[in-house]
Amino acid sequence: MINFIPLGGANDIGASCYYLNIEGTGIILDSGTHPRKFGVDSLPQFDFIKDMNVDVALISHAHQDHIDSLPYLVQRHPYIRIVTTPQTRAVAEITLHNSVNILKEQLKDEITIRAYTHEEIDLLIQSIEWRAYEEQFTIDGYRHSSKESIKASFHDAGHILGSAGTLVEHKGRSIFYTGDINLDKQSLLSGAQLPKQKVDIVILECTHGATDSTHLPSRLEEQLRFTTCANKILNRDGSILIPVFALGKMQEMLSTIWRLMQKGSLATTDIYTGGVGRKISTVYDKNRYTVPYNDTDLILSDIPQKDLYDVDHLDDLMRQQCIVLAGSGMIIENTLSYKLTQRWLSQPKFGIFTVGYMDPETPGYRVRHSHKGSLIQLTNASEPQNVSCDVEQFRFSAHSNREGILEIVQRLNPSTVILVHGEHGSIDWMGYSIMKKFPHIKVHGAEIGKQIILFE
Ligand SMILES: [Zn+2]
């Protein structure tokens, strides 16, 4: 029998975590936290599997919403085997240590859960086993009741460095979890490589299900518009703030901006980056020959950058012209991009460019939907502010658009699809479209704690 239970990231984006039980072997697919929730609320609902076998965790990539609750999973199941790609392991070493510092601050008044320590992360990273793309390995658990072994393999998901779709095969039946996936080429990474094997069940991400992409501009058109908007601001001596995720978006945007400056299309100015994003760039550099990579000659660490953490006071930044790539991508409160946004908004010559996904309940979403001359309240508790700067929205997504997600379904042609990792509107559109286009495919919308029996 094969069962599936979503523990997080079902009809929502955040705390991705899914449990598969294949004839007694318990498999966890991802173990993330919710980026805008705190404490216990940010974790997947591990209690649903507290009396079940938990043998192995296969982690698709190192974004917070897919990996950050792994230390809590290990506290509950100390003997769990963890497998990732080598790149995900290398990135996670940086991001999980960084989360220790953030969690300490967030959880200082919390009694139900404590922040994990740097020592726990060191031990965790040492225990992670790594497997290259397309390398098959067995994952039988201690109480595996079948004579036949369970095989697993990772497949390049084209989303961030080391990201993988996970294929699990047993007795001629196969389940493919897309993780976060992108079929299209980005600035640095080539697109996803789908498994060549037959796939029966797809656990499918639906991030962009609600966005009509038929009339969206191409990456090249978007790059042109970005250049025009940026030059307009730089030519009037203004500065540009680009909120980015330290992992993935920072590296993609840095390489895009640098190439445009090198070509002479974008006015040259100082580029500010900093913190964990800079460390992650070195992992990208080291791995540019180990994964499909568009430009192995481009070394991110060699791009001239000033360090945001060398600036004594953020107000000093307002007196010089620059482009700032600052975390967090969704402008979460108390982060650098939040503090800079507060300052940027009052500057008529400046511009804020958003470049990726925004959760509707984040300040980033409010910024994205504001415009010069409007009023904005960054959070429910903050004072309304005038938007005096330019606000521009660009689409440099690291996820496939909804037509791309349908293409994945078409190419894999499974008998069943389980929809995960999307807001209600996205899941609804995707479910409806799959049923209409591929009536032979059975569609499930994942719900936290609700078991689906995949095979009797
Ligand atoms: Zn991701």
Which pLDDT band, with edges at 50, 70 and 90, does 37 fall under? confident
Residue at token pair 């001239």: 304
Same domain, 340 and 193: no
Which residues, 6+ apart, have CB-to-CB distance to 60 below 8 Å? 16, 29, 30, 66, 88, 157, 163, 164, 165, 166, 177, 179, 180
Quote the ligand 1 centre to 63 CA distance (angstroms).
Answer: 5
Spacing, Cα 159 to ligand 1 middle (Å) = 7
- Strand ranges (E), 116-187: 128-130, 137-138, 151-156, 164-170, 173-177
**Residue 39 — very low, low, confident or very high, per pLDDT cuts 50/70/90?**
confident
Q: How far is the CA of 120 from the centre of ligand 1 (A)?
A: 24
What is the whole-number distance in angstroms between the Cα of residue 66 and the centre of ligand 1?
Answer: 7
Rounded to whole angstroms, the Cα distance separating 280 from 312 reads 23
Q: Which two tokens stand for residue 97?
A: 């240590």
Percent of the chain with pLDDT strictly greater than 70: 100
Question: In this predicted structure, what is the pLDDT of residue 327?
Answer: 86
Residues 179 and 120 in one domain: yes
Is 257 in the same domain as 157?
A: no
Tell me how far apart the alpha carbons of residues 317 and 309 are, in angstroms, rounded to a whole number. Answer: 11
Q: What is the whole-number distance in angstroms between the Cα of residue 186 and the centre of ligand 1?
A: 14
Q: Do 201 and 297 sit in the same domain of this protein?
A: no
Distance 25 CA to ligand 1 centre (A): 26
C-alpha to C-alpha distance for 376 and 374, rounded to whole angstroms: 7
**Domain identity same for 154 and 36:** yes
User: What distance in Å separates the CA atoms of residue 62 and residue 96, rounded to the nearest whole number?
Assistant: 9
Pick the range with the lowest mean pLDDT from 201-210, 214-223, 332-341, 360-369.
Answer: 214-223
Cβ neighbors of 91 (< 8 A, separation 6 or more) are 62, 160, 161, 162, 247, 280, 283
Identify the CATH number of the domain in which residue 256 sits: 3.40.50.10890
454 and 3 in contact (C-beta within 8 Å)?
yes
270 and 134 together in one domain: no
Same domain for 235 and 367, yes or no, is: yes
Tell how far the Cα of 207 is from the centroid of ligand 1, in angstroms.
10
* Last residue in a domain, options 349, 364, 393: 393
**Structural domain boundaries enclosing 30:** 2-211+398-455
CB neighbour class for 384 (10 Å; exposed up to 12, middle 13-18, buried from 19): exposed
pLDDT over 90 (residue 306): yes
Three-state secondary-structure class, residue 94: helix
Tell me: do 125 and 154 sit in the same domain.
yes
CATH for 207: 3.60.15.10
Query: Cβ(142)–Cβ(56) under 8 Å?
Result: no
Residue 440: per-residue pLDDT: 97
- pLDDT band of residue 428 (cuts 50, 70, 90) is very high
Amino acid at site 396: F
**Domain ends where: 393, 408, 441?**
393
If 0-12 CB within 10 Å is exposed, 13-18 middle and 19+ buried, where does residue 380 land? exposed
Q: Are residues 143 and 270 in the same domain?
A: no
* 181 Cα–ligand 1 center, Å: 8
C-alpha to C-alpha distance for 10 and 16, rounded to whole angstroms: 7
Query: Does residue 183 sit in the same domain as residue 146?
Result: yes
15 Cα to the center of ligand 1, angstroms = 11
Going by C-alpha positions, the residue among 137, 132, 407 that lies closest to residue 292 is: 132
Radius of gyration of the chain measured on its C-alpha atoms: 22
- Which segments within 215-297 are labelled E, that is strand? 240-243, 270-273
- How far does the centroid of ligand 1 lie from the alpha carbon of residue 324, in Å? 22
State in Å: Cα 192 to ligand 1 middle.
13
Tell me: the pLDDT tens digits for 354-384?
998 888 899 999 999 999 999 999 999 999 9
pLDDT surpasses 90 at 452? yes
What distance in angstroms lies between residue 420's CA and the mean position of ligand 1's atoms?
13
Question: How many domains, the chain?
Answer: 2
pLDDT tens readout for residues 237-260: 999 999 999 999 999 999 999 999
Are 387 and 438 contained in the same domain?
no
Mapped onto helix, strand or coil, the DSSP state of residue 259 is helix
Q: What is the whole-number distance in angstroms between the Cα of residue 405 and the centre of ligand 1?
A: 15
Centre of ligand 1 from the C-alpha of residue 160, in Å: 7
Q: 368 and 411 in one domain?
A: no
Rounded CA separation 17/5 (Å):
9
How high is the pLDDT of residue 209?
Answer: 86
Domain end residue (candidates: 393, 410, 440): 393
Cα gap 440→416, rounded to integer Å = 9
35 band by pLDDT with thresholds 50, 70 and 90 = confident
Using 50, 70 and 90 to split pLDDT, how confident is the model at 289? Answer: very high
